[in-house]
Structure 1
Amino acid sequence: MDRLQAARHFFSQLEGEHTERLREIEAEIERTGTYTLTTDELASGAKLAWRNSNRCIGRLFWQTLTVHDARDVETFDDVFEAIVAHLRYATNGGKIRSTMTVLPNHFRILNTQLIRYAAYETTDGIVGDPLSLSMTRQAMRFGWVGAGTAFDLLPLLLTDGNEIRMYELPADAVLEVDIRHDDVDLFGGRDVKWHAVPAIADMELEIGGHRFTSVPFNGWYMETEIGARNLADVERYNLLPLVGVSLGLDTTKERTLWRDRALVELNVAVLQSFERAGVTIVDHHTAAKQFKRFEKNETDAGRDVTGQWSWLIPPLSPASTHVFHRHYDDKIVTPNLFARSGCPFSAFQAKPKEESKG
């Protein structure tokens, strides 16, 4: 649809009468070929985008999203300051707030998330998060040197298409939680931790014909994201064998279901640790019940509930939730959030600033 049709489609989803505003938009499009969303319209669109996100089980809280309008920032330093402000606001001393920051389109965050742990290739295998191997190499190319531990925070790489600048996040912008089980040492004396805010940095926001390409945003963690994926996946930290041995399970036979038992206790440890630290987290059973309330709210409002089943079911005991037993239409409704559509900026093409700033 053209820009005016897209605007009309967007405003038809908002409460109230918008005839006069649409006249203004039509006149602006006739003059300039486009139109500008106000800060309030941007915030409303971002909330609807969350509500329409088919992969998200946490959509019950879509109306609570806080949107920071940073479209007017001009420099690399301004972008970095907006990102740090986002993380500090979202972290909120552990009482996590769902937050989105909309940055100018000509800037990109090359990291997939604002907070990731580095990965190092050693003679004994990979130390850290294997998912971050490529980004760690890029950061090193720009002069970054990590401590070499399994949980080193990666710097941010920002680009405007001409150059890349590297920034290290200040300590007070990243809250981390030590992962410990209340009853048993699951990790054989190793230090294991995870960060409190899951801030996505590689999605694009579409509202009323506009595509915003730099929109870091976060909700809060569901425990399985950490305990059943980040720390458990074979391609990630792969801690299940260590946990199984620590629990005294027979890991030589699959029929002992040692993986399942280890997975449960690892997720218990994540929940216990976040609760101990006073950091917001939700377990997958509660999240599923919250999503059921979202489904009812949408039905009562006369809207279809869209969803991508394979993403909505939790990776731990999915059949014990109602989500597993339902069908969802994966129809795309806008406003919405989309995977980055081929970032034209490559860390291996853009030139680094001569002196990286932290």
Structure 2
Amino acid sequence: MEILHERSTIAQTVAAAEEFIGLFHRENPDAGDPRARLAAVRAELAETGTYRHTPEELAHGARVAWRNSNRCIGRLYWNSLRVRDRRELTGADEIAAECVGHLREATNGGRIRPTITVFAPDTPERPGPLIWSEQLIRYAGYGDHPSVTVGDPRNRELTEALRALGWPGGPGTPFDLLPLVVQGCDDKPRWFDLPADAVLEVPIEHPEDDHWTDWGLRWHAVPAISNMCLEIGGIHYPAAPFNGWYMGTEIGARNLGDTDRYNLLPVVGRRLGLDVTNDRTLWKDRALVELNRAVLHSFDRAGVTIADHHTESRRFLTHIDREERKGREVGADWSWIVPPISGSACPVFHRTYEDRPLTPAFAHHEGARQRAEGRDLV
């Protein structure tokens, strides 16, 4: 039974490799004869059970994975993704150091650059490394009671796991930076503090109300997703942190506004003098707009790249037009593409999309999830 399963897995990898190599050569006609490359890939798979992408294949596969991300509205610039090839790295120390390097390069003084860093892949001999942190930059969530959290409630479990790993905790503010949690190949997870110069944060201020500064609100500039697996042609890269730039609503409507996150709408509503006891006054809507205005104003004032949801909606339709002219259909998850505020005022609202998976892709890798659920933290 094990031999049959192994043959089936290799056959699946061969099929996925053939599909990707075909796509790569169709979209890169100067890359040479695909038949020779396919023969080399098949031979390598037969001998080792895996194969190694060329640097050009890796770069194109990572970019196409962004192009295929059905939940991302910002795919217009998919082909500009900067790919940092770090596949030779397997240890936690060197991976953590390269994650810091990723943040410094992606931050670029505030002119955010879409970037991905790809570490060692899974192989038949051993799984690749993992980054437990959902994003490279996260804020701590402290609290002993489910309804009381200082900081970001989304990160309570990660914060508790870090404490179990020996992290002493931060000063206890709502915006304490969490260390990065990395598990190298054949190793246990370890934590690494992020240097201050690797994390650019933007103070959140309102364009007309100076008293907002008293709240001490801020958010980090680079949204670098780090717990998804990059899948290219049957090869899985479980540690491949990647970033674009923020759309304002991700911060203002979700991170700061959601009731299970920072839940700032009541605070903003009261500051605006609104009746927060009656939903029919639309105080939540008015507070939400002001919170999002503050985010956009603050990032612009700091000279940090950020998109607004109206502009990004138009860009997404431009992306669809460009792709369709090239004979490629664009999949999308409507519930993610439509912004969380002013949905019907954005052109993406008035369309339907087919949410069908394509590869290469970013995915929550089942193997990595199983390892996470069974992790030994101490």
- TM-score category (smaller protein): over 0.9
Letter of the aligned partner of 1:343 in structure 2?
A: R
Match of 1:63 among 79, 83, 92: 79
Structure 2: 5+ residue stretches without partners: 1-10, 122-127
Other structure's SS at 1:181 match? coil
Aligned to 1:206, what secondary structure does the other structure show?
Answer: strand
- SS of the residue corresponding to residue 345 of structure 1 reads helix
Moved more, 159-168 or 42-51: 159-168
Q: Percent identity?
A: 49
Distance 2:62 2:19 in 1: 15
- CA displacement at 1:252 relative to structure 2: 2.0
1:299-338 aligned within 5 A: 299-338=324-363
1:263 equivalent in structure 2? 288
CA deviation after TM superposition for structure 1 residue 4, in Å: 2.6
Alignment of 1:244-255 (within 5 A): 244-255=269-280
Cα deviation for residue 76 of structure 1 reads 1.8
Whether the 8 Å CA contact 2:253–2:340 is kept in 1: the answer is: yes
Structural RMSD (CA): 1.8
**Aligned mates of 1:185, 1:143 — CA distance in 2:** 40
Rounded Cα–Cα distance in structure 1 between residues aligned with 2:136 and 2:170: 17
* Contact 1:114 1:199 (8 Å CA) reproduced: yes
Equivalent position of 2:182 in the other structure: 158
Q: Which residue of 2 aligns with 1:128?
A: 151
Distance 1:205 1:186, change over 3 A: farther
The aligned counterpart of 2:163 is 140
Report if aligned partners of 1:162, 1:350 keep a CA contact under 8 Å in 2: no
8 Å contact kept, 1:186–1:243:
no
User: Amino acid of the residue matched to residue 240 of structure 1?
Assistant: L
Aligned pairs, how many? 352
Residues in 1 aligned to 2:341 and 2:352: alpha-carbon distance in whole angstroms: 19
Q: Name which of 177, 194, 214 aligns with 2:219.
A: 194
Q: Deviations over 1:51-79 (max 9, x none)?
A: 01100000101000011111101422111
Question: What is aligned with 2:14?
Answer: 4
| Structure 1 segments unaligned to the other structure (5+ residues) | 353-358
Letter in 2 for 1:149: T
**Structure 1 CA distance for aligned equivalents of residues 166 and 45 of structure 2:** 45
Residues 308, 348 of structure 1: CA spacing in aligned structure 2 closer, same or farther, 3 A cutoff? Answer: closer
Segments of 4+ moved more than 3 angstroms = 185-188, 344-349
Find the aligned partners of 2:247 and 2:211 in 1 and give their Cα distance: 20
CA distance in 2, matches of 1:89, 1:99: 8
- 1:222 corresponds to 2:244: no
Matched, 1:109 2:103: no
Q: Deviations over 1:140-191 (max 9, x none)?
A: 1222221100000001111235422110000011000000011014648210
- Bigger share in helix: 2
Partner of 2:215, secondary structure, is: coil
What is the CA–CA distance in structure 2 between the aligned matches of 1:234 and 1:32, rounded to whole Å?
Answer: 50
Stretch moving more, 26-35 or 287-296: 26-35
Cα drift, residue 31 of structure 1:
2.8
When normalised by structure 1's length, the TM-score is: 0.94
How many Å apart are 1:11 and its aligned residue? 2.2
Q: How does 1:226-241 map to 2 (within 5 A)?
A: 226-241=251-266
The one-letter code matched in structure 2 to 1:101 is: T
Distance 2:225 2:241 in 1: 5
Per-residue deviation at 1:33?
Answer: 2.8
Matched, 1:80 2:96: yes
* SS at structure 2 position matched to 1:189: helix
Residue type of the alignment partner of 2:179:
P
SS in structure 2 opposite 1:238?
coil
Which digits, 9 at most, give the CA deviation of each residue in 1:200-236, with x for residues without a partner? 1111111111111111111100000000000000000
Partner of 1:355: none
User: Distance between the aligned counterparts of 1:226 and 1:118, measured in 2?
Assistant: 16
| Amino acid in the other structure paired with 1:4 | V
Q: For the Cα contact (< 8 Å) 1:164–1:347, is it kept in 2?
A: no
Maintained 8 Å contact 1:187/1:242? no
CA gap of 1:114–1:21, structure 2 versus 1, over 3 A, is same
Q: Does 1:295 align with 2:327?
A: no
**1:348, CA displacement in angstroms?**
7.4
Asked whether the equivalents of residues 118 and 132 of structure 1 are also in contact (C-alpha less than 8 Å), the reply is yes
